[in-house]
Structures are given as structure tokens and as C-alpha cells.
A and B are shown apart, each in its own frame.
Chain A
């Protein structure tokens, strides 16, 4: 019964976050624009060499998602802080993990939508040849997004009450994301090259392991970071 109640609360938070985001529009547009801008800037920095662009595509793509994602995570709690809605949210009865789950799912949908735009632009800009096993590539990207969003949502909650949250979040998040980012980049790079050395599997395993660790840890710790 309690679990059913928590599921109902999760659904409500996801609906609320996506509805407010859909209506304000500014957040998604800004985040997607930042992601695309980063791709373009890296494109300029790497120069016109098509092979160099292709080689760098996986790394640049994940960096664009990371930098734009931080903006998205900060925004997801900014909505709660405006007008004291976070306090109202914390006053509702029910498990704290349900709040985290709701924010996490909403952020997953948000970052995935941003990823679709960034990847599409990245394929064109970096002249990436889409590999035959592209559905698996989508799987790798989703694993990477899960790791990124679980830590991003958690640390955004932790820094949300700080005045310097815009600065604090990247400082906390980037070092912790190194293993997820590294595994995502290497697995994506290996797949884009056709996985000749059969190395993608090991990176995917590592990525999956970190996803599980981060998901479990953030769900367990959320209650302690969101309460004063």
C-alpha cells in the first residue's frame, strides 16, 4: 500500500516537473542551445580535418551532454526553490526517495530529449558514420545518461540550498562523474569505430556497474541531503 502511494507521488512529481518545463520552455531551449553551442565550438577548435572530427566525436558529444546537463540539474531544483515550493514538497508525507525518484525520472526524460538534439547535430557536424549496430549505441548512451542523471540529480539536491549552487554543483559533480564519463566515451568511441578490438563490452560492463552503484547510493543518501 505504502509503495503504491509512493508510486503515485513519483508520477505526480514527474508530471509536475515536465509540465512546468514544457510551459516555461526557456529551460529546455537554453540547455539544448548550450549543448549545440559546445559542439560547434569544439568543431571550430578541431578544425576541418574530417578524420580528426570523427575521432573526437564521442568525447565531444559526452562533454556537451555533461555541461548542458549541469544547467538542467540546477534548473530542476530552481523550480522548487522559487516561491518556497521545496518546503511544501518536503512537508508532504511519504518516503523521501519518492521525491528523488520523481526528479530523477523527469531529469532522465529531459536529458534524453536534449541528447537526441545534441547527437543529431553532432552526427552532422562531426561527419559521424552511423554504425550497423546503432541500437546498441543507443543502449550505451542511455546507460551513460542514467549515470549522469542519477549523480546530477543527487548533487543538485545537495547544493540546492547553497547560495553558490551554480558553482558548487559542477565542483561536486565533475570529479564524481569521471568513471561514468570515461566509460561512456570509450564505449561510444569503440562502437563508432566498429568495435574491432572487442573493447566496448568491458566499458559497458564498467558503465553498468557504476550506474548500479550510483543509483543505489543516491537513493539511500537522498533523505540525508535534502533535509536540513
Chain B
């Protein structure tokens, strides 16, 4: 699917990943997150190779996937407490993270009864708790209302201000307006120069960046 993507995201940078359905955007994120192994090529996260140093990579990466990755029969707080334990983080920040995403009123309720948007917010709270150095977001605005989208954007900006980087897969640039510093288009498995078809409905022109062959992968 991917045929030699050369791309570098610097610390503090927020990069949008564009492209048609099935072009490999999500695959690229999953390779960087160590959820998929590439058949060839290398990617690095803060110097750690995703193929050979997966555990080091996972210490830096936070992944906001299509699916919430929560346990239905645990409460919102228990889901975050589990995540905090698995990440080796103090549980003192759990309540603040839940409050920040606006779920304080359902903190002791089971996730089974949550709407899709509430589950997305709780997934975001997990990332807020984790504060990763590289944030990978796969269509982060799906199922979120305007306030939820603003929460995502605020978190991305905060993380970037603290020196973290973000790589965001988006189909519509409108919700990410004012957040993305640059965009990269994937076409036919490669980083491509955008065409008119890549333009969004508001006319914003994504700025494609083609890095020279042989440049470091994601670092």
C-alpha cells in the first residue's frame, strides 16, 4: 500500500495527513504506532526504530484511533485508572482529565451506556493523561460535536506548545483549521504534490511537502 513515504515531523510540529480513502494514511499511522510492521523501510520516533525498538517507541506515542479502545463494563474512571496503571502514571490526574473532556458527571458510569461521542471524549482523556511526545490521530473529529472538536484542537495545541509533535489524518480540513502547521498528501502510496481534488470545500490549499529520498522517516 505504501511505496516509500519519506516524511519528517519535527518536535512541536502539527502535520495533517491527507489523501483519498485507502491511500495508506491510517496504515502509516499504525506503522508508526507499532501496531503494524512494514514489509520494508524504517520509521523512527525520537530516535527509536519502530521495527526493532517498539517498546521505546510506545513510551512516546499516543494513538487516537477510529475505535475508542475502551472496556464497556468498566466505568469511565476505571478505564482511565487501568490506562494509568498500564502506563505507569499516577492516578491523581485521572479526575482532572475526565473533567477536562466534560465527562465529570458520568465518571462512575459504565462506558456501555455512553454515546459514540462520549466514548471519543473518554479516549481523548486517556491521551490527556498520557501526554505523549508524538500524537497520532486517525480522523480525530469523527463522532464529536463542535465542543468536542475544540477539545481535540486545544489538546493538540497544548501538546505542541510543550514540544510534542502531532500527525493527524483528516478528510475535512475545516475542523482542523488553525491547528495544522502543514499538510502532507499521500497518493499511490507516496507523498505527493496536491491537486485541485485535494482542496477542501472552503478552498484552503493543503501544502504538500515532499522530502528528499533517503531522509529519515518519522523522527
The residues of A with any CB-CB pair to B shorter than 8 Å are 5, 8-9, 11-12, 15-16, 19-20, 23-24, 79, 82-85, 87-95, 227-228
- Please report the C-alpha to C-alpha distance between residue A8 and residue B119 in the assembled complex, in whole angstroms: 26
Please indicate the chain B residues that have their CB under 8 angstroms from the CB of A85 in the complex: 69-71
Within the assembled complex, what's the spacing in Å between the Cα atoms of A85 and B67? 8
User: What residues of A have a CB within 8 angstroms of the CB of B34 in the complex?
Assistant: 90-91
A91 and B33 contacting across the interface, CB-CB below 8 Å: yes
User: Is B104 part of the contact surface with A, judged by Cβ < 8 Å?
Assistant: no
- Decide: B69 and A93 in contact? CB cutoff 8 A: no
In the complex where A12-B82, A87-B35 touch, is A79 in contact with B59 (Cβ < 8 A)?
Answer: no
Q: Which of B35, B67, B85 contacts A228 (CB 8 A)?
A: B35
Give which listed residue, A16, A24, A87, contacts B82 with CB less than 8 A: A16
Residue B110 is within 8 A (CB to CB) of chain A in the complex: yes
**CB-CB contacts of B83-98 with A at 8 A, as 1s and 0s?**
1011110000000000
B61 at the interface (CB under 8 A from A): yes
A227 CA to B37 CA, complexed, in Å: 8
Alpha-carbon distance between A16 and B35 when the two chains are bound, in angstroms: 22
Chain B minimum-CB-distance residue to A88? B69
- CA of A79 to CA of B86, assembled, Å: 17
- Does B109 touch A at the CB level, under 8 Å? no
CB of A4, distance to nearest CB on chain B (Å): 10
Is B72 engaged at the interface, CB distance under 8 Å to the other chain?
yes
Contact (Cβ within 8 A) B74 A94: no
Inter-chain CA distance A228–B51, complex, in Å, is: 12
User: Which chain A positions have C-beta within 8 A of B126?
Assistant: 88
The answer to whether the Cβ of B157 comes within 8 Å of any Cβ in the partner chain is: no
Chain B interface residue count, CB cutoff 8 Å, equals 31
Which residue of the partner chain A has the closest CB to B126?
A: A88
Complex formed: what's the CA distance from A100 to B185 in Å? Answer: 39
| Interface residue SS majority, chain A | helix
Residues of A within 8 A of B181 (CB): none
Beyond A23-B110, A24-B73, is A93–B59 a contact (Cβ under 8 Å)?
A: yes
Determine the distance from Cα of A15 to Cα of B71 in the docked complex, in whole angstroms.
12
Contact A84 B58 (CB under 8 A): no
Chain B: CB-nearest residue to A98: B86
Q: Establish whether residues B72 and A83, one from each chain, have CB atoms under 8 Å apart when the complex forms.
A: yes
Q: B88 contacts A87, CB within 8 Å?
A: no
Q: Are A91 and B35 in contact (CB under 8 A)?
A: yes
A20 with B35: CB separation less than 8 A: no
Report which of B37, B58, B66 forms a contact with A91, defined as CB distance below 8 A.
Answer: B58
- What are 25 A-B interface contacts by the 8 Å CB criterion? A8-B85, A11-B85, A16-B82, A20-B71, A23-B110, A82-B72, A83-B67, A83-B69, A83-B72, A83-B119, A84-B66, A84-B67, A84-B69, A85-B69, A87-B69, A89-B69, A90-B34, A91-B34, A91-B61, A92-B83, A93-B58, A93-B88, A94-B55, A95-B55, A228-B37
- Bound complex: CA A88 to CA B58 (Å): 11
Q: Which residues of A contact B61 (CB under 8 A)?
A: 91
Chain B residue with minimal CB distance to A21?
B73
Q: Which of A8, A87, A91, A92 has the most CB of B within 10 A?
A: A91
Q: B208: CB under 8 A from chain A?
A: no
Neighbouring A residues of B82 by C-beta, 8 Å: 12, 15-16
Select A23's contact among B56, B70, B73, beta carbons within 8 Å: B73
Please give the distance in Å from B109's CB to the nearest CB on chain A: 12
Write the chain A residue with the least CB distance to B87: A92
Q: Is the CB of A87 within 8 A of B67?
A: yes
A94 to B126, CA, bound (A): 17
**A-side contacts of B37, CB under 8 Å:** 227-228
- Given the known interface contacts A23-B110, A79-B71, A228-B36, the answer about A93 and B87 at a Cβ–Cβ threshold of 8 Å is yes
B175 in contact (CB, < 8 A): no
